[in-house]
């Protein structure tokens, strides 16, 4: 299974850490999902339907899953996400140093599962919490092929309880899966590939 789109990761001064997936192409079509970990460590998935919720919750770890409408829009200047009563408005900055480096990779290489398995130890050393290969549960493997990255300059976030506060680093890394987005608020362009044992792809990675 291959998913192409964007992942945005931000921290808020209220202690919430948010990872939003904005998928333009996938086996489930175009959709968005939002993962939130609050200051107490409670992890919530906001998904637009049962099929998305089932796949994502089988791949990542959550304490609660909510089915809510998820809408998103991305322009050159901003990304806006609405998931139930949650609102996110991200003002986008320039391409980061990481993004400039990532764009030097040929796209076919950058999304190759074999290359990502080899790259994984280096990615873990270079970016805290990052990884390019790991477990997806049920004997499956997951690979993150990141091809671009931009900084996030500012944030408006809140829900029915009120504002979630100002933009801060995504630290500590949220505990949804084997990897996190960079601690500096960032939006990345990514191709995520999930393989099963029958696909014949093997690699070694730490969870």
What are the φ/ψ torsions at residue 120 (nearest 5 degrees)? -50, -50
Dist CA 122 CA 41 (whole Å): 28
Residue 181's contacts (CB-CB under 8 Å, 6 or more residues apart) are 7, 8, 9, 19, 129, 130, 170, 188
* DSSP state letter for 169: -
Cα-based distances in Å from 22 to 26, 85, 199: 11, 17, 26
What is the structure's pLDDT at 83? Answer: 98
Q: Token digits for 107? A: 């796209």
Model confidence at 128: pLDDT above 80: no
Identify the band that residue 206 occupies on the pLDDT scale cut at 50, 70 and 90: very low
What is the structure's pLDDT at 201? Answer: 43
State yes or no: cis peptide before 162, omega within 30 of 0. no
Judge whether 99 and 142 are in contact, CB under 8 Å: no
Model confidence at 131: pLDDT above 90: no
Mean predicted confidence (pLDDT) in 123-133? 81
The 10s digit of each residue's pLDDT in 161-204 is: 999 999 999 988 899 988 878 889 999 999 999 998 766 543 33
Mean predicted confidence (pLDDT) in 123-134? 82
Residue 70: which of 61, 58, 55, 81 has the closest Cα? 81
Residue 39 burial (10 A CB sphere; 0-12, 13-18, 19+) = exposed
Which range is least confidently modeled, 107-111, 155-159, 203-207? 203-207
- Sequence ranges of the domains in the chain: 2-158+167-199
What is the share, in percent, of the chain residues with pLDDT greater than 90?
72
Judge whether 19 and 8 are in contact, CB under 8 Å: yes
Dist CA 96 CA 190 (whole Å): 15
What is the structure's pLDDT at 199? Answer: 64
The 10s digit of each residue's pLDDT in 63-121 is: 999 999 999 999 999 999 999 999 999 999 999 888 898 899 898 999 999 999 998 88
Residue 123, sorted as left (phi over 0), alpha (psi -120 to 50) or beta, turns out to be: alpha
What is the structure's pLDDT at 55? Answer: 93
Beta bridge partners of 8: 20, 187
What is the structure's pLDDT at 198? Answer: 65
C-alpha atoms less than 13 angstroms from C-alpha of 29 in its C-beta half-sphere: 5
The 10s digit of each residue's pLDDT in 37-71 is: 999 999 999 999 999 999 999 999 999 999 999 99
């Amino acid at each position: 299974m291959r998913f192409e789109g964007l992942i945005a990761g931000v921290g808020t001064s209220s202690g919430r850490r948010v990872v939003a997936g904005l998928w333009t192409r996938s086996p489930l079509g175009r959709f968005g999902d939002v993962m939130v970990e609050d200051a107490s460590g409670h992890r919530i998935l906001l998904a637009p339907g049962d099929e998305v919720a089932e796949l994502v919750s089988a791949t990542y770890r959550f304490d609660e899953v909510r089915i809510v409408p998820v809408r998103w829009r991305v322009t050159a200047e901003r990304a806006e996400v609405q998931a139930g009563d949650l609102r996110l408005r991200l003002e986008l900055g320039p391409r980061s140093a990481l993004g400039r480096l990532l764009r030097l990779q040929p796209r076919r290489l950058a999304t190759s599962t074999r290359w990502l398995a080899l790259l994984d130890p280096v990615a873990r050393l270079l970016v805290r919490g990052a990884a390019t290969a790991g477990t997806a549960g049920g004997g499956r493997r997951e690979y993150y092929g990141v091809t671009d990255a931009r900084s996030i300059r500012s944030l408006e976030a809140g829900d029915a309880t009120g504002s979630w506060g100002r933009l801060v680093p995504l630290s500590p890394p949220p505990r949804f899966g084997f990897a996190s987005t960079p601690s500096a608020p960032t939006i990345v362009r990514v191709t995520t590939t999930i393989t099963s044992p029958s696909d014949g792809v093997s690699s070694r990675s730490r969870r």
